[in-house]
Structure 1
Amino acid sequence: MHNHNQRFFGFVFLSGQMCRFFFLDAIIILFHLRKCGIMSDSNQCSSSSISSSLELQNKSLKSVDGTDFDEYDFELEPEIEDEDEDFETSIDNYSFIIEGTNKGSGIPGAVFNLTTTVIGAGIMALPATMKVLGLILGIILIILMGILSEISLELLVRFSVLCKASSYGEVVQHAMGKPVRILSEICIILNNAGVLVVYLIIMGDVMSGSSHHMGVFDQLMGNGAWDQRKIVVLVVMVVFLAPLCSLDKIDSLSLTSAASVALAVLFVVVAFTVAFIKLVEGRIDSPRLAPDLSSKTAILDFLVAIPIMTNAYVCQFNVPPIYNELKQRSPQKMNTVGRYTTVLCILVYASTSISGYLLFGKDTEADVLTNFDKDLGIRYSSVLNYIVRIGYILHLILVFPVIHFSLRQTVDASLFGGSPPLSESKKRSLGLTAALLVLIYIGSTMIPNIWTAFKFTGATTAVSLGFIFPSLVSLRLKHLGDLSYGEWVLSWLMLVLAVTVSIVGVVSNVYSLQSKS
């Protein structure tokens, strides 16, 4: 027994060192890829593109005191390669807001908004995917998906600046035409609506309980009207979600986003602390290091888990609106926002996955929050259970309006394309908000659990929004001469990988459902 414990603690130490090196590698890769010419911030564009952008900007924008921007002296320093060739200039050298303008959110606010978009309900399914994939492959995939997501984000930022797009759909349309834009907007609607449905499912499961787990209200107050999940979710939607979702601008949600990130970190700290205490006391079973492929069911679970992992980093649909509300915005500043967000998410995801899986082992549920209804085997277990569950419910309440913002914007662009912005039409904004909340609530009453929702959205809409569309958009840049060879290769690799994951995921999901039925 003593030798067994020694081997186990030796494994834990080795795993910890591997995690540490993986984290360091992720940070080094993200912040230094530009030195290799793969993720360069500076983007070369033709003189015609820059001159047309400047002309449009001077016609459309006025300074704060009403003075035409033509009176200001913007100096672009072109690099003359040949007298007969067009000059080239870096997009990063041109800020699309005059230096004196202080409206919009700063880098911290943008990081919080983007991080809130990423860290939502998907984090609750990661311990279950770790159970299927094993610790080693699970950690590798968390880091790999984070890096690929950051690359696609930076390519998307570059093209958004070139076409001066205010939404994800506009970027896609500029690159590939109106039909593809419609397809991308359908993906955004399905993905975001599915994510919001999952949020409501988690809120209902945690507060009112499910067939296998007790809810917070049951444990605190016993049986009552709060046992009815539909009623509890409806009250939360009317009292908390509707007022937050009615806000017109995403930078208005910076404070709620910061609070939601803090609550997510609180969950990670508590889970990691409990896992560490039980590990020191020798009360944790040896975890699985590699995936189990010994049976057909295990193989199907493995194939289904990969799309769920890709779903965890999808935030690209919120990049254009966050960029356009960034104070003194520039591609370089937005890339900084993306890199901080990616490193933070990798650390949070890896910590949550490892601690959640170590705590509950083979009993880890698809929604790990539901596991926190039992004694954790340490002092103050019941108090910690309440802190984890109530804290994360508050986190989801604060994340909900950020995802809803891009959903409402996309639906509005699809239905009312030529109309004034939503910020100028309060009635249309409130009407869309109410209609979407009703449909999302109905959906939450029809889908059984979050695993079912995530495995389908992860294999279809999430992969498309996070990797397929950004890859296609960046490959379109090749024809403008703006894509380096390294970026061209990475774009093709992301596209092939995303299409493969999508096809395998959909086929596995359908086959798994048929097998169970």
Structure 2
Amino acid sequence: MQMWILKTRTFYLNRTWGRRSMKLTLILLTFVSIFSLYSVHLLLKTANEGGSLLYEQLGHKAFGMVGKLTASGSITMQNIGAMSSYLFIVKYELPLVIQALMNIEDTNGLWYLNGDYLVLLVSLVLILPLSLLRNLGYLGYTSGLSLLCMMFFLIVVICKKFQIPCPAEIAFLVNETVNGSLAQPAAFVGFNRTESDSCQPRYFIFNSQTVYAVPILTFSFVCHPAILPIYEELKGRSRRRMMNVSKISFFAMFLMYLLAALFGYLTFYEHVESELLHTYSSVMETDILLLIVRLAVLVAVTLTVPVVIFPIRSSITHLLCASKEFSWWRHSVITVSILVFTNLLVIFVPNIRDIFGFIGASAAAMLIFILPSAFYIKLVKKESMKSVQKIGAMFFLLSGIVVMTGSMALIVLDWVHNAPGGGH
């Protein structure tokens, strides 16, 4: 289950390599995964001591209504960001799949190749009916299918590395999709650097895009809202057993993120796009294997979106109508509102990086760094404030505050600085 929660962000981690560097991202990926695992340890220990297996309830016990609202708001923001990432995949990949299947060359004026229209159509016809269900009986099937999809995607990325020559050695054209229609291709032959330099990995790069590295990686390792429900349902429940499950899941996702990002970067170097499959389409537009990957990914993310809606709706219902009986009218209104808001984000925010950056710097930082350590310090009474455990949690809390405030400030500065032509 934890692996399903973590898996889909692999598509976008390639940008972290392409715009930053190899060693820098490897270092950040390692540290973020270790910190995330440590925060799971704090959360499980706090749950045992605090007597609650609900994230929001721990917040209420620790800091009253403020803690409950903070936890609920962070979970909602995080899951909306996850939903947005899945719908961005639909927006960018479904037009290419339809275009390839129908063998269409001229895409001008065709509404069914417009990503915005297709996102709305998929949300209305497929996602909404599944989201309105009261129970998640199909969760086991969709999570397994999604994980198999990602493994297939990873295998293809590794194989393509040995089939596609370096971009500097071929007449490589990049087509960028804008509002669902293909823009004029721009060839990036004739770089400022030499051909050999273009095909060499760059290990440490610091530029205006580096500020998004930590938030994106932080966003990619958030599964904490689901830790406690999984812990509650674990047979023969024990904190040690749950930590072993977490270690295996985090290590598996660490390898998947690392290999996908590494081989994606070593295929296209600094020319890798925010969504990796888009980069492949620039050189292999009729590749059958990539078409199969796209279809598999689209099915997986479409089935995953309703699953992500459930904790958001549950959190909102728990806050607003905790004492009221179930109502189909309220259930439907909340579901439609969540879908409408997420679709507006996907349509009007041009770059998924901005959503990842903002939510990773705010909600993800809260869920990984700040809230688990704050709950631990407040609720675990048997350890003194001078103990190694409490000092470690305090340091972790301060680190989270630094990460959140620093990342948010740098992201806002980048938005302001690059607003006129920054491609956001």
Normalising by structure 2, we get a TM-score of 0.83
CA distance in 2, matches of 1:252, 1:162: 33
TM-fit CA distance, 1:500:
1.5
Please point out which of 305, 322, 325 is paired with 2:213.
305
Please point out which of 149, 155, 160 is paired with 1:263.
149
- Equivalence for 2:347: 445
CA distance in 1, matches of 2:264, 2:296: 16
Please say if residues 145 and 313 of structure 1, whose CA atoms lie closer than 8 Å, have aligned partners that are also in contact.
Answer: yes
**2:378 is equivalent to residue 487 of structure 1:** no
CA distance in 1, matches of 2:235, 2:324: 26
CA distance in 1, matches of 2:237, 2:380: 25
TM-fit CA distance, 1:257:
0.6
- Equivalence for 1:106: none
**2:3 is equivalent to residue 115 of structure 1:** yes
- Equivalence for 1:136: 23
> Aligned in 2, Cα 1:516/1:315: closer, same or farther, shift over 3 Å?
same
TM-fit CA distance, 1:249:
4.5
Q: Identity over the aligned pairs, expressed in percent?
A: 24
Amino acid at match of 1:433: T
Amino acid at match of 1:116: W
TM-fit CA distance, 1:116:
1.7
TM-fit CA distance, 1:194:
2.6
Residue by residue over 1:68-123, the C-alpha shift from the partner in whole angstroms, topping out at 9 and shown as x without a partner, is xxxxxxxxxxxxxxxxxxxxxxxxxxxxxxxxxxxxxxxxxxxxx22221122x32
Bigger RCO (CA 8 Å, 6+ sep): 2
- Equivalence for 1:324: 232
**2:301 is equivalent to residue 396 of structure 1:** yes
Please say if residues 477 and 483 of structure 1, whose CA atoms lie closer than 8 Å, have aligned partners that are also in contact.
Answer: no
Please say if residues 17 and 262 of structure 2, whose CA atoms lie closer than 8 Å, have aligned partners that are also in contact.
Answer: yes
Q: Say which SS state the counterpart of residue 209 (structure 2) adopts.
A: helix
- Equivalence for 1:342: 250
Question: Where in structure 2 are the equivalents of 1:105-254 lying within 5 Å?
Answer: 113-120=1-8, 122-208=9-95, 215-221=96-102, 222=104, 223=107, 224-249=110-135, 252-254=138-140
Tell which deviates more after alignment, 450-459 or 486-495: 486-495
Please say if residues 146 and 313 of structure 1, whose CA atoms lie closer than 8 Å, have aligned partners that are also in contact.
Answer: yes
Please say if residues 128 and 366 of structure 1, whose CA atoms lie closer than 8 Å, have aligned partners that are also in contact.
Answer: yes
CA distance in 2, matches of 1:398, 1:470: 30
Please say if residues 76 and 315 of structure 2, whose CA atoms lie closer than 8 Å, have aligned partners that are also in contact.
Answer: yes
Gaps of 5+ in 1: 1-112, 209-214
Residue by residue over 1:173-205, the C-alpha shift from the partner in whole angstroms, topping out at 9 and shown as x without a partner, is 122222121122112222211321232122111
Please say if residues 50 and 379 of structure 2, whose CA atoms lie closer than 8 Å, have aligned partners that are also in contact.
Answer: no
| Bigger radius of gyration | 1
RMSD across aligned positions (CA): 2.7
Q: Say which SS state the counterpart of residue 460 (structure 1) adopts.
A: helix
TM-fit CA distance, 1:218:
2.1
Amino acid at match of 2:342: I
TM-fit CA distance, 1:145:
1.1
> Aligned in 2, Cα 1:329/1:248: closer, same or farther, shift over 3 Å?
farther
- Equivalence for 1:285: 199
TM-fit CA distance, 1:426:
5.2
> Aligned in 2, Cα 1:182/1:114: closer, same or farther, shift over 3 Å?
same
Question: Where in structure 2 are the equivalents of 1:19-34 lying within 5 Å?
Answer: none
TM-fit CA distance, 1:451:
0.9
Question: Where in structure 2 are the equivalents of 1:310-459 lying within 5 Å?
Answer: 310-376=218-284, 382-420=287-325, 428-459=330-361
CA distance in 1, matches of 2:331, 2:392: 39
CA distance in 2, matches of 1:263, 1:333: 27
CA distance in 2, matches of 1:488, 1:279: 52
CA distance in 1, matches of 2:287, 2:370: 44
Normalising by structure 1, we get a TM-score of 0.69
> Aligned in 2, Cα 1:485/1:395: closer, same or farther, shift over 3 Å?
farther
